């Protein structure tokens, strides 16, 4: 039988060991809590970098300086330390890269000697011709070179090419009976429904996504009064309503109702509010082509017509 003193000594040793284990376990648990909080902060920083890159990309390729300023603005709005935001734009102004950072203080892991950690994240956005656009109006343009800033007519009477008496270029040769209109809804042979769809799509934009490679039938006839009503609505709204998206297509000249347009890209057109469409044969839409960036999927291999998409890409791309 062991002496009572020996038993008391062993009981004391076990108590010290258990206490030490509890302290270690609490330390690891506290460390795990801080690591989890740091992981949440890392996700926030990645979101900040993503938002900053996309916001900056919206200003490319026209203004790389503004693109970088916008990136810094959005990064700090989303929690990044403004002193740790670094931006760069590629030489061709097609991509912007954003690095963000923030110092994260540990609360519990200090007992183990860990006081803080630097959290960093990086994102890259690319601008290239958009592959799909929401809100297109029911006009189309033939695949061609478009001059930014030059005033054009979209919807012509009579169909043709060249210039008018004021020197404004006609943009497409349309074929007999066509005036540059398109039927996104593939409407059955119901003239009233075709007219209503045309007007709604002109006023508000087609609600579906139009993609490169899509095929549509032309919408024959002038629809002069509907064109006048739809464009005047946009002029009355003003602002962003004056900028419309138009599919660029192949398939001209149209020779019959069974022919199809094939979408190859998208142009952005700003309606000239000082020249609203006239009546009857004068229901022409005047305006200028411009470059416009949207949050949309894109493809570097596509021909550019003016509408660009910005999206996040791999850092190493």
3-state helix, strand, coil in the chain (%, to 5): 35, 30, 35
* Confidence grade of residue 58 (pLDDT, cut at 50, 70, 90): very high
| Residue 256: predicted pLDDT | 55
pLDDT, average across residues 68-79: 94
* Confidence grade of residue 158 (pLDDT, cut at 50, 70, 90): very low
3 state SS of 159: coil
Nearest to 271 by CA among 224, 236, 305: 236
Q: Radius of gyration of the chain from Cα atoms?
A: 31
Phi, psi of 170 (to 5 degrees): -80, 140
Q: Which residue has the higher pLDDT, 204 or 1?
A: 204
Beta bridge partners of 313: 124
Beta bridge partners of 298: 130
Residues 6 or more apart whose CB falls under 8 angstroms from that of 267 comprise 141, 146, 245, 246, 247, 248, 289, 305, 306, 307
Q: Does 202 have pLDDT greater than 60?
A: yes
Nearest to 289 by CA among 313, 272, 277: 272
Residue ranges per structural domain of the chain: 4-126, 132-313
- Asked if residues 200 and 184 have their Cβ atoms less than 8 Å apart, the reply is no
The terminus-to-terminus CA distance of the chain in angstroms comes to: 77
Nearest to 248 by CA among 105, 145, 95: 145
pLDDT, average across residues 79-105: 91
Q: Which residue has the higher pLDDT, 46 or 154?
A: 46
Q: pLDDT (tens digit, 9 = 90+) per residue, 220-249?
A: 777 889 999 999 999 999 999 999 999 999
How many Cβ atoms are within 10 Å of 6's Cβ, its own excluded?
9
How many Cβ atoms are within 10 Å of 238's Cβ, its own excluded?
10
| Residue 160: predicted pLDDT | 47
How many Cβ atoms are within 10 Å of 145's Cβ, its own excluded?
6
| Residue 7: predicted pLDDT | 47
pLDDT, average across residues 243-271: 83
How many Cβ atoms are within 10 Å of 124's Cβ, its own excluded?
21
* Dihedral angle of Cα 273, 283, 264, 184, to the nearest 10 degrees: 110
Nearest to 67 by CA among 106, 141, 115, 125: 125
Q: Which residue has the higher pLDDT, 156 or 119?
A: 119
Q: Which residues of 96-118 are buried (b: 16+ CB within 10 A; e: fewer)?
A: bbbbbbbebebebbeeeeeeebe
In which residue are the tokens 């899509």 written? 214
In which residue are the tokens 């609203």 written? 276
Report pTM: 0.79
């Amino acid at each position: 039988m062991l002496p009572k003193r020996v038993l008391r000594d062993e009981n004391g040793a076990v108590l010290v060991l258990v206490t030490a284990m509890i302290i270690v376990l609490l330390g690891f648990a506290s460390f795990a809590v801080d690591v989890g909080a740091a992981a949440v902060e890392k996700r926030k920083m990645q979101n900040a970098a993503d938002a900053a890159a996309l916001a900056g990309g919206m200003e490319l390729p026209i203004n790389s300086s503004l693109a970088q300023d916008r990136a810094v603005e959005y990064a700090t709005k989303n929690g990044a330390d403004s002193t740790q935001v670094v931006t760069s734009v590629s030489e061709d102004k097609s991509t912007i890269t954003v690095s963000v950072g923030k110092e994260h203080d540990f609360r519990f892991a200090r007992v183990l000697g860990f006081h803080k950690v630097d959290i960093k994240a990086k994102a890259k956005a690319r601008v290239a011709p958009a592959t799909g656009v929401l809100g297109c109006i029911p006009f189309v343009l033939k695949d061609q070179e478009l001059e930014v800033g030059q005033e054009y007519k979209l919807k012509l009477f009579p169909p043709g090419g060249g210039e008018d008496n004021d020197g404004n270029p006609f943009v497409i040769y349309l074929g007999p009976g066509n005036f540059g209109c398109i039927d996104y809804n593939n409407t059955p042979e119901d003239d009233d429904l075709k007219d209503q769809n045309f007007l709604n799509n002109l006023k508000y934009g087609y609600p579906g996504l139009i993609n490169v490679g899509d095929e549509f039938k032309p919408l024959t006839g002038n629809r002069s009064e509907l064109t006048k009503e739809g464009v005047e609505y946009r002029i009355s709204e003003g602002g962003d309503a004056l900028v419309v998206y138009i599919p660029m297509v192949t398939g001209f000249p149209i020779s019959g109702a069974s022919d199809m347009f094939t979408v190859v890209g998208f142009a952005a057109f700003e309606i000239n509010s000082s020249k609203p469409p006239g009546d009857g044969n004068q229901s022409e839409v005047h305006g200028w082509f411009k470059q416009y960036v949207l949050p949309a999927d894109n493809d570097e291999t596509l021909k550019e017509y003016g509408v660009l998409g910005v999206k996040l890409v791999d850092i190493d791309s």
